[in-house]
Amino acid sequence: MAISPNFTSIYSHNWEINFTQCAPNAYLKYADLCNLLQLTAAEHSIIGGLSFNDMQEHHQAWVLSRIRVEIDSLPKWQDKVTVKTWIESMEGSRCIRNIEMHLNGIKIAGATTYWAVFNTQLRKAEPPILPHEHFEKYPDYKATAESFSRINILKETEKVTERVVVLSDLDIVNHVNNVKYLEWCLDTLDPKLILKQQIKSFEMNFLRELNLNDNVEINHSKEQHQNYYSVTKSGKVCFALILDLK
């Protein structure tokens, strides 16, 4: 697809929160918060000529490697929010993109995301073939107070549960969708912490692909207000999550 005449390097998209995106407390689910942030990034890539279909002509796709989300408050059912996004940097196969959510003109959440260009045939990272110079980069414009941390994947944990990857866990790139990992971990957390909006930030690191019928373990450890989760397959960490509580 050609670059849209409406393309801008800083992009905003308006969304209305619908009931399917809400938890029993009528506030946006944390997983659906991530979905809206990423959908806005996808819309920006579409008008900028770097959509999934554009990339697939060269057997490439954007895959999320890391994300940090900081939350002041969550929108509720029928709220109308504006999500804004821009690229901080793009070098080689890697891209850092910032995303913010605003409600009534006030920022309520911010995220910094780390993406890789992935060859969907070779199943490995590689530089993008399509041009991206028309995207202005904003190295000093941040959406979060803190950047990515170095998650210790060797942390001692206890197994919480096991699961088998099913079809509904997979996305268009034919591996487990990144939001599914978050859902798996949050489902093991005390529901009161979610319903009372006690999560102030979380950071996820995606290390290895998971595919249909994979057997995985979900592991957990806790230190004061911080929860650590990992998803492992055959003893190897595929995903790590740090969850900070208020």
User: Is residue 124 pLDDT above 90, yes or no?
Assistant: no
Mean pLDDT computed over 225-246: 95
pLDDT band of residue 1 (cuts 50, 70, 90) is low
pLDDT of residue 12: 98
Token reading at 93? 């196969």
Sequence ranges of the chain with CATH classification 3.10.129.10: 1-148, 150-246
Mean pLDDT computed over 110-134: 93
Digit-coded pLDDT (tens) for 182-223: 999 999 999 999 999 999 999 999 999 999 999 999 999 998
For 17-52, the DSSP string reads --GGGB-TTSBBPHHHHHHHHHHHHHHHHHHTT--H
**Location of structure tokens 């809206």:** 36
Percent of the chain with pLDDT over 70: 100
Percent of the chain with pLDDT over 90: 88
Could you report how far apart the first and last alpha carbons of the chain are, in Å? 44
Coil, strand or helix: which one is 17?
Answer: coil
User: Is residue 150 pLDDT above 90, yes or no?
Assistant: no
Cβ 69 vs Cβ 206: under 8 Å = no
- Average pLDDT score over the chain: 95
Q: Tell me if the pTM is above 0.85.
A: yes
Sign of the C-alpha dihedral, residues 242, 185, 221, 116?
negative
Q: What CATH number labels 1-148?
A: 3.10.129.10
pLDDT of residue 8: 97
Q: What CATH number labels 150-246?
A: 3.10.129.10
